[in-house]
Structure 1
Amino acid sequence: MRLIRNRRITYGWLILTVLIAILTLRLAWVQLVMKHQRLPGSRHTMVEASLIQRERGIILDSGRGHFTDRNGKPLTGNLIWAAVLFPVSEKELNNSHRQLAELARILGTNVDDLMQRWGRIKEPMLWHGENSRIPRSLSKDQIEKIKQLDLPKLKVLPYEQRYGDRLSGMQWLGFVSGQRKESLFFHHRAEVTGTSGLEKTMDALIRGEGPTVVYFPVDSTNEVIQDIKPVVQAPDNPYYPLRVTTTIDIDIQTGIEELTERAGMKEGAVVVLDTRNADIVAMVSRPFYNPEHIVPSEGQWESRGLKAVTPGSIFKLVTAAAILENGLSTPEEHFHCDGQYGKFGLSCWKKGGHGTVSLREGFAESCNVVFATLAERLSAGQLSNTASALGFGQTVGWRSQQFLGLRSFAPLDHEEKGTVFSGSVDASDAGVRVQTGIGQRDAAISPLQAANAIVTLLHGGVKTKPRIMKQVRYANGQLLQDTDSLVEFASGGSISQETSSILLEWMEQVVQDGTGSASLKNRKWSLAGKSGTAQVQNKGRARNNQWFIGYGPVEKPRYAAAVLVENRSPDSSHQAAEIFGQLFDFLASVETDSGSA
C-alpha cells in the first residue's frame, strides 16, 4: 500500500511539473512571438491592445473624404502642424517659467495668459491662436524652436484642418457637426456627420473608415507616461476615404466673393454657369458663413443661390417666350404706354410712360404696360408651361435615381422649386395673370434657375441640369464614378430654337439701348441680359429685390450668370446690374490670364 501511495505522489509531481513546463513555454511563446503578431480582426498586437486599455487619444484627422475644385485644388483638408498642450501641475509650470516665456513669444501670446490657460486644462488641448476657433498652424521655424525648449508636456503633431476659420460664400459646401476633433481626449471613435450642403448630401459616401488617432499611454491618474512612445492608429485601406471633384473653380469663386465684398453687397447671391455644359463654376451667397462657427438661427449657412424669391421683370422672359411660342404677338407689334395700365392698380416703372414702342423695344425697356397687356392674352396653362420649359417651378440641379448605392441622390442641398401660381389663387383671373406676368404676386425663382434658363436659351431651348459634382475618386486617385455633363431635362416641354434666338437677340438690345446700357454697355466683353426689380416686404418695410441675368461674351458665349441683390431700398441704384458688369470684367480677365480668350 505504501508503495502504491508513493507512486501516486510521484505521478502527481510529474504531472504538475509537466503543466508548469507547458505554462512556461506558453508564456515564453507569448512574450517572444505572439506579442508581435496582430490579434484576429484587429490592427493591434497583443501588447498594443493591452496598452490601449490605458491610453487616451487625440484625433488628428477625422478620416472623412475631401472635396476639390474642378482643377484639383482642395476645398477641404489642409495639413498643418499644431502644438498640443498636455495637463501640467502648477509646480511644473512655475519651474518652467523661462521656457514658457520663450514659448509664449514663439506662439505670439502673453506668458501669463499661456500659463493660465495651460494650468486649467484637464485633457490635452490643441493650441488656438488669439480669438481663433481652430488650431494655429506652426511654421518650420516655430516647430524647430519649440522642440529646442524640451518641454515634456508639449508636443507638435500633424493636424487636418477641414475648412479654416474664415467667412465664405460657399454655403453649397456646407459644414459638419457632431464630436469635433479639437480638444478631444477620448476612448471611442468620434462621429462627425455632414449637416448641410455637399457635406450632408454626400455624407454616406465620404465618411471613410475611421479617424487617424495618436494614442498616449496614461497611468491610473490619467497622467501621460512620458517614457513610452505614443502610437498612431490610422485606416490602411488604400481606396478610402473617397475624394469628390466638384465643378467649382475656386479661383473664380473666391474672386467673386471679394468682388461682392468691395461692392458692399449685403444680401443675395451670384451664380455663374459654364455655357457649354451648365456646370456650376461659382455660387456665392451673402451674407457669408463660417463653417467653423454655425449659428443655425441666423441662417447664414443657407445658400441663397438655391432659394426662390420674387423675380420681378426677369420673369418677362417667360411671358415673352409664351407669347412668341403661342403666336399671340410678333416682335414688331406696337403698344402705347402712358405710365398707367388703367386696371388692377398697375403702373409702369417709368413715370409718364414709354410712349409707343414695339414688343422688341418694350422688352429692352422692361415696360410693365406692354407685358401686362401680353399677360392678359395668355392662359394660366400657357404661362405655366412656358415657365416649366425654361426650368422654373421645379428643381433643376443634376440628380440621379441611383448613384453609388444612394437612391434619389441630389447633391444640391435644399434646392427650392419656386412657384409660378400659388395653389390658393384662381389663375384664370386676369389680374393674377397680369401680376404674375411681370414677375410679382406668387412668382418665385432661384438664381440657379435664372442662370440655367439663360443656358437653356443658348442651347436652342434644350433644358439642362446644372451639376456641382463632377466625379468621385478613390483615395489612390483611381476613378470610381463620373457624372454626365450637359444632361437634358426631359420633362416640361421645351422652347423652340426660333424663340430662343429672338430672346437672346432682345437681351443684347437690353444692354445696347435698354435698362442695362448705363452699367453694361462699355465692358471688356460685349454682354446681353435682362434686368429686374421686384417689390417685396421685409419686416413691414417696402424693399426691392434687384436682379440682372445674362451671358457673355455675345460673340462666343462662355458664361451665363444671375446676380440677385436682396432687400435694397426702393430709391437706391441698381446694384445688381453694376455687379453683373464687374463680374464679367473679372471673368474676362480670368480667361485672358488663362489664355482661353
Structure 2
Amino acid sequence: MWRKRVLVWLFICFSGFMLLLGRLVQVQLFAAENFSKHHINLLEASVQQRSQEMVLDHGRGNFHDRNGRPIAYEKKAVLILFPFLEKMEWDAERVAKIVDAPRTELIAAVAKSKQPFAFRSPEPLILTNHQMDRINSLKIPGVFAVEQKYPLEKVPAGQLIGITGENTAEIRQRYPGKDLSPQTLIGVSGLEASFDEFLLPEGKSKLVFHVDGDGGPLFGINVKYVDPANPFYPVNIKTTLDIELQKRAEELADQHGIIKGGLVLLDIETNSVLAMVSRPNISQQDPYNQNGITNMMLKEQIMGSVFKTVIAAAAIDYELDNPSRTFDCSRKINGEPDTTYEHGTLNFIDSFARSCNYTFGELAKELSDIDPNLIEEYAEKLSLTGPVGWQGSVYHFDDFKQMADEDIGRVFRKDQERTDKNFVALSGIGQHEVRATPLAVASMMAVIARGGQKEMVRAVSEIEYKNGTVMAEFAQAPLKGEEIAPYTAMKLQQLLREVVINENGTGRWFNDLPYEVAGKSGTAETGIFDHEQQLHNKWFAGYFPYHDPKYALVTVNLDVRSDQGGINPFFADMVKAVHDYNLKQ
C-alpha cells in the first residue's frame, strides 16, 4: 500500500516538475518577447529591472517645414541626472558651478527622483555647447549633458500634421508582420496617419546605466548610449509648410476670433500648402476629441457665392455673358422683390462684383437647360469637386494619399435635382447641396491664376533618410480631367479683380493692400439656427499679386451669425503677413 502511495506521490511530483519545466521553456524560449495576453517583452522587462535609462528620442520619424526646420519638436541641450547619485559621493558643487545653479537644488532634485531626469531650476535648464563639454569632461557616473528631443505642447498645423497614440490592437491589425512593441506610437490622424509606415521607429535613442539590486551603480560599467543601428532611420517628412507663415496664420486666426473655420495658403507655382489653419484647436486635455482633431480645411462646407465663379466660367464659354445684357438685381432668385439687396439693374460683370443672386440663379437655370450636367462639369474643371490632394504610387503603395481624410465635395446629391429649376437656381449661388472643401476652393483660385492648369495640391515634397538623402519625392503632378480654356481663365481673372476694384464690389476692402488682390466673397446659409438666428459660413477666396500670381488664399469662418464673424479682416491681415514675410527674405 505504501509503495502505491509513494509511486502516486512521485508521479505527482514528476508531473508538477514537468509542468514547471514546460512553463519555463515557454517563457524562456517561445514567449520571452510576447508573454501573456498583455504581450509583455520579458527581455526588456528584465533589463529594466537592472538598469536605469533616459529616453532621448522615441525614434519615430519627424516632420520638417520646407526649409528643413522641425515642426513638431525642438532639441534642447539638458543636464541629465540619475537617481543613484544619492547613494554615492559626487562633485555636485562643481556641476552646480558649471550650470550656474545652486548645489542644494541639484542634491534635492536627485533625492526626490526615482527615474533619470532632465534638471529643472524651475524651468528646464538649457545648456550651451561649452557647458555640455565641461560637464561631460568630468566623467561623473550618472551626470550627463546631452541633446534631448522635446515634443511641442502645441504643434503648428496640428490637424494637418496629426496626432499619434498607443494602441496594441491597432498595431497588430495594421502591421501583422512587424515585430513592434505594444508601446509603439502610431499615427491616428493627419499626415501622421498617412505616412505612418514610413515613420515607424527602428528603436529608441537612450542613455542606459546598469545598477545593482539596491539601485546603485555597477562600477566598471560605463553608461551606454543606445541608438538604432540603421543609419537611414528615422526618416524626415519634408512638408511644404513654411513654419513662419504657419505660426503667423495661427496667431491671426486667434486674433480674429475664429472658433470654427480657418485658412489655406497655397504657393501657386508649386501648388503646395504653405500654411493651413483649422479651428477648433486640438484639445491638450482630450486630444482624440473629434471636434479638435478634425481638419476643417479638408471637410466639405457650404460655400455660398464663391460657387458663382463656376457659373461664371460656364456662362463665359456658352456666351451668356453678353456685356449688353442686364439683370434685375433687386429681385431674389425666385423673382420676388429683394428688400435686403436692392442692387438695381446690373450687367454680368457688375453682377459678379456685387454678387447678385438673381443673375447667377438665372444663369444656372439657362446652363441646366443646355445640359443638366454642365454645372457639375465646370465645377470639376475648376478642381472644386473630387479630391485635390496629392495621390499616386509611392513604394508599394499604388494609391498613396497625402491627405487621406480629404472630402470630395459635390454640386447635386440626387439626379432629379439637376433639372429642378428651384434646386438649380439655389445651386447656382452655392446653396442647397453644393459643398466643397476650403482646400479645393484654394485649388480653384490657383487654377484660375495659372491660366486654367489643374494640379494636385501637395502638403509633402519629400521623404528624407536620416542622412539627408531622398527616399521618395512627391513631384508636381496634374489633376486628371478636363480644364478650362486659357481664355476662360483670363476672363475669370478679370471678374475676380473686379470684385476688389469695383466701388461697390464685395471685396473693395482689399483695394489698399500691399498686394493687388483678386477674389470672391461668399456668405452661405447653413440651415443651423442659434436662438432663432440663422448661422452662416463666411468666405473670401482669392489670389495675389494679381499681375504676377504667387499665392492663393482662402479664409472661412463657419457657423457664425450674420452680424458677426466678418472674414475680410482675417484675409487682409494674412495678405499683409505674406508681404511682411517677403520683405524680410
Alignment-mate amino acid for residue 536 of structure 1: T
2:69 corresponds, among 51, 64, 73, to 73
1:509 aligns with 2:498: yes
SS at match of 2:418: coil
Match for 2:515 among 496, 514, 525? 525
C-alpha separation in 2, matches of 1:404 and 1:459: 31
Tell me if structure 2 keeps the 8 A contact 1:271–1:561. yes
Output aligned runs, 1:481-560, within 5 Å.
481-485=472-476, 487-491=477-481, 493-513=482-502, 514-538=504-528, 540-541=530-531, 542-560=534-552
Structure 1 residue 332, shift from structure 2 partner: 3.8
8 Å Cα contact 2:541/2:554 also seen in 1: yes
What residue is the counterpart of 2:391 in the other structure? Answer: 399
Contact 2:156/2:243 (<8 A) preserved:
no
Maintained 8 Å contact 1:176/1:195: yes
Aligned letter for 1:314? V
Larger radius of gyration: 1
State percent identity of aligned pairs. Answer: 27
1:168 to 142, 156, 167: 156
Show CA shifts across 1:385-440 (max 9, x none).
1111111221101111x202223111114111122112486332111111111111
Residue matched to 1:27: none
Q: Secondary structure at the match of 2:159?
A: coil
1:64–1:207 contact (8 Å) kept in structure 2: yes
How does 1:301-380 map onto structure 2 within 5 Å? 301-342=293-334, 351=340, 353-379=342-368, 380=372
How many residue pairs align between the two structures? 521
User: How far off its partner does 1:257 sit?
Assistant: 1.9
Change (3 A) 1:374 1:127: farther
> Would the alpha carbon gap of residues 228 and 150 (structure 1) be closer, same or farther in structure 2, given more than 3 Å must change?
closer
Question: Amino acid of the residue matched to residue 451 of structure 1?
Answer: A
The correspondence of residues 44-443 of structure 1 with structure 2, limited to 5 A, is 54-84=50-80, 86-87=82-83, 122-126=114-118, 137-138=126-127, 156-161=145-150, 163-166=151-154, 168-178=156-166, 190-222=183-215, 224-225=217-218, 228-289=221-282, 294-297=286-289, 299-342=291-334, 351=340, 353-379=342-368, 380-400=372-392, 402-423=393-414, 426-443=417-434
1:436-495 alpha-carbon deviations (Å, 9 max, x no partner): 11111221111110111011112222211111111222222222332222x22122x222
Cα displacement string for residues 271-326 of structure 1 (whole angstroms, at most 9, x for unaligned residues): 11112121111112223337x76522252222222111110110111122222233
Q: CA deviation at 1:52?
A: 8.0
SS at 2:77 equivalent: strand
Gaps of 5+ in 1: 1-49, 181-186
Change (3 A) 1:241 1:453: same
Deviation for aligned residue 1:86: 4.5
> Superposed, which structure 2 residues align to 1:551-570 within 5 Å?
551-570=543-562
Match of 1:28 in 2: none
Residues 478 and 157 of structure 1, relative CA distance in 2, 3 Å threshold: closer
Runs of 4+ in 1 over 6 A off after TM superposition: 50-53, 105-108, 117-120, 140-154
Supply the distance in 1 between the matched residues of 2:294 and 2:125 (Cα, whole angstroms): 28
SS of 2:572's equivalent in the other structure is: helix
User: Could you tell me how far apart the structure 2 residues matched to 1:268 and 1:55 are?
Assistant: 49
Q: 8 Å contact 1:212–1:232 — kept in the other structure?
A: yes
**In structure 2, do the counterparts of structure 1 residues 362 and 136 end up closer, same or farther at CA, with 3 Å as the change threshold?**
farther
- The Cα shift of 1:559 comes to 0.8
Deviations 1:575-595 (A, max 9, x none): x2222222212222222332x
Q: Which moved more, 1:390-399 or 1:333-342?
A: 333-342
The alpha carbon displacement at 1:206 in A equals 2.4
Deviations 1:534-583, CA, capped at 9 Å, x for gaps? 11245655212110111111111111111111222211363x22222222
Letter in 2 for 1:496: A
The verdict on how the C-alpha distance between 1:137 and 1:192 changes in structure 2, with shifts beyond 3 A counting, is farther
Partner of 2:43: none
The 1:85/1:554 distance shift into structure 2, 3 A limit, reads same
**Amino acid of the residue matched to residue 58 of structure 1?**
M
Q: Following TM superposition, by how much is the alpha carbon of 1:219 offset from its aligned partner in structure 2, in angstroms?
A: 2.3
The 3-state SS of whatever aligns with 1:488 is coil
- C-alpha distance in 1, partners of 2:72/2:582? 25
Do the aligned partners of residues 53 and 87 (structure 1) sit closer, same or farther apart at CA in structure 2, a change above 3 Å counting?
Answer: closer
TM-score, reference length from structure 1: 0.77
**SS of alignment partner, residue 413 of structure 2:** coil
1:347 and 1:431, CA in 2 relative to 1: closer, same or farther beyond 3 A? farther
AA aligned opposite 1:336? D
Contact 1:535 1:543 in 2 (8 A): yes
Matched, 1:577 2:568: yes
8 Å CA contact 2:52, 2:116 repeated in 1: no
Q: Deviations over 1:70-110 (max 9, x none)?
A: 22222244322345565579x979x99x98xx89x9789x9
CA RMSD of superposed structures (Å): 3.8
The CA deviation at 1:237 is 2.5
Aligned-partner Cα distance in 2 for 1:412–1:352: 40
Indicate the residue corresponding to 1:35 in structure 2: none
Q: 1:201, 1:140 → 2: CA distance? A: 37
Counterpart amino acid of 1:307?
Answer: K
What's the TM-score, normalizing by structure 2?
Answer: 0.78
Query: CA, structure 1 residues 310+410, in 2 after alignment: closer, same or farther (shift >3 Å)?
Result: same
SS at match of 2:266: strand
Structure 2 regions of 5+ residues with no counterpart? 1-45, 169-179
Distance in 2 separating the partners of 1:365 and 1:376 = 20
Find the aligned partners of 1:523 and 1:367 in 2 and give their Cα distance: 25
Cα deviations by residue, 1:192-247 (Å, 9 ceiling, x for unpaired): 22222222111111224222122221223555546642211112332222222221
Q: Does the 8 Å contact 2:81/2:110 carry over to 1?
A: yes
What is the distance in 2 between the residues matched to 1:75 and 1:403? 23
Give the letter aligned to residue 273 of structure 2: I
